[in-house]
Amino acid sequence: MEWKTPQWFGAGKRRAQLDRQVDATNLAQFGYRQMPTSQKVDWVRRHFNRVAPRYDFMNTLLSFGIQYAWKRAAIRMMGLSPGDRVLDVCGGTADLAIMASGRIGPQGRIVVYDINWAMLQAGLPKLAGKPAAHRIRFVQGDAEKIPFPDNTFEAAMVGFGIRNVTHMQQGFREMHRVLKPGGKFLCLEFSKPVNPVFRWLYDVYSFYVMPFLGQVLAGSAESYSCLPETIRLFHLPDEISAILQTIGFEHVRYRRMTNGIAVAHVGRKLNKAA
């Protein structure tokens, strides 16, 4: 098992993950690993193929179950209404969709949209016997090319997925495009804890304990060392707010959870036709 050194990258390295830089250099990162831009999506697909069967179990264990509180709080912040049609981008095993389904009533609909069929398949059994199951559909595809017309959804959300998308801004732009004017937006992502002592403990936990548990319980230390690496390259909350505003979201605000381990951004698409 290879141990890597925890490192929070500076603004320059984070900027290098922006779409224009990724295209100009033809270099993308998946964790600490650098690769030609065109190859990243395959790395991400292979990664989630490996982790899909144990994804929910490992996430719950590694987060001590706190991930559910983050997801519930983020869904509350979004302010969904009965009848809303919701797109769950990078929806994986459908946690956010299942939580949202209780808020949209019998007329509401949710599309769980993910590039990885193994992740969607791992989520399907969770709908069995749920009264809201008929409100949720699974569609496979890339966040950078969402196959829905402009102005389709009342709400669009992405949970713990956008940092894996090769062209993150393109992913946000696509979410903005398919939202109706006035539509609700949510991005829930990992981030940098604010308190330095807490951050140090989090570094030790995520760079040494998590890969060890990944090896023992899921047979892959690498899959679980990659997760903290991608987080340390990801943009800080104010940077994400600025990116969202540039794309055209308004009323953008965010909330840090568990000292900033997770951050939920919400916003609205401008209330007039783009």
Closer CB to ligand SAM, residue 84 or residue 142?
Answer: 142
Minimum CB–partner distance for residue 199 and ligand SAM (Å): 21
Closer CB to ligand SAM, residue 19 or residue 142?
Answer: 142
First and final C-alpha spacing in the chain: 51
* CB atoms near residue 62 (< 10 Å): 19
Stretch that binds ligand SAM, among 89-97, 174-182, 254-262, 264-272 (CB under 6 A): 89-97
> 253 CB contacts (<8 Å, ≥6 apart)?
241, 265, 266, 267
Closer CB to ligand SAM, residue 55 or residue 249?
Answer: 55
Minimum CB–partner distance for residue 107 and ligand SAM (Å): 24
Q: What is the C-alpha to C-alpha distance for residues 268 and 274, in angstroms, rounded to an integer?
A: 13
Closer CB to ligand SAM, residue 41 or residue 155?
Answer: 41
Instruction: Report yes or no: 155 and 185 within 8 Å, Cβ to Cβ.
Output: yes
Q: Which of residues 107-136 bind ligand SAM (CB under 6 A)?
A: 114-116, 119
Closer CB to ligand SAM, residue 89 or residue 252?
Answer: 89
Minimum CB–partner distance for residue 248 and ligand SAM (Å): 21
Q: What are phi and psi of 256, to 5 degrees?
A: -85, 140
Q: Is residue 228 a contact point for ligand SAM (CB under 6 A)?
A: no
Q: Is residue 161 a contact point for ligand SAM (CB under 6 A)?
A: yes
Minimum CB–partner distance for residue 273 and ligand SAM (Å): 27
Q: Which of residues 244-263 bind ligand SAM (CB under 6 A)?
A: none
Q: What is the dihedral of CA 116, 75, 171, 244, to 10 degrees?
A: -160
Out of 22, 30, 62, 92, which residue is the one contacting ligand SAM (CB under 6 A)? 92
Stretch that binds ligand SAM, among 140-148, 174-182, 191-199, 203-211 (CB under 6 A): 140-148
Q: What is the C-alpha to C-alpha distance for residues 184 and 112, in angstroms, rounded to an integer?
A: 16
Q: Which of 27, 158, 190, 150 is nearest to 90 (CA)?
A: 158
Out of 108, 159, 183, 260, which residue is the one contacting ligand SAM (CB under 6 A)? 159
Out of 30, 85, 91, 211, which residue is the one contacting ligand SAM (CB under 6 A)? 91
Q: What is the C-alpha to C-alpha distance for residues 40 and 192, in angstroms, rounded to an integer?
A: 23
Q: Is residue 31 a contact point for ligand SAM (CB under 6 A)?
A: no
Out of 17, 29, 101, 164, which residue is the one contacting ligand SAM (CB under 6 A)? 164
Measured over the CA atoms of residue 82, residue 83, residue 84 and residue 86, the dihedral's sign is positive
Burial call 236-273: b when 16+ CB within 10 Å, e when fewer:
ebeebbebbeebbbeebebbebeebbbbbbbbbbbeee
Out of 138, 160, 190, 207, which residue is the one contacting ligand SAM (CB under 6 A)? 160
**Cα–Cα distances in Å, from 136 out to 57, 120, 155, 174?**
22, 12, 14, 20
Residues of this chain that interact with ligand SAM (CB under 6 A) are 41, 44, 48, 90-93, 95-96, 114-116, 119, 142-144, 159-161, 164-165
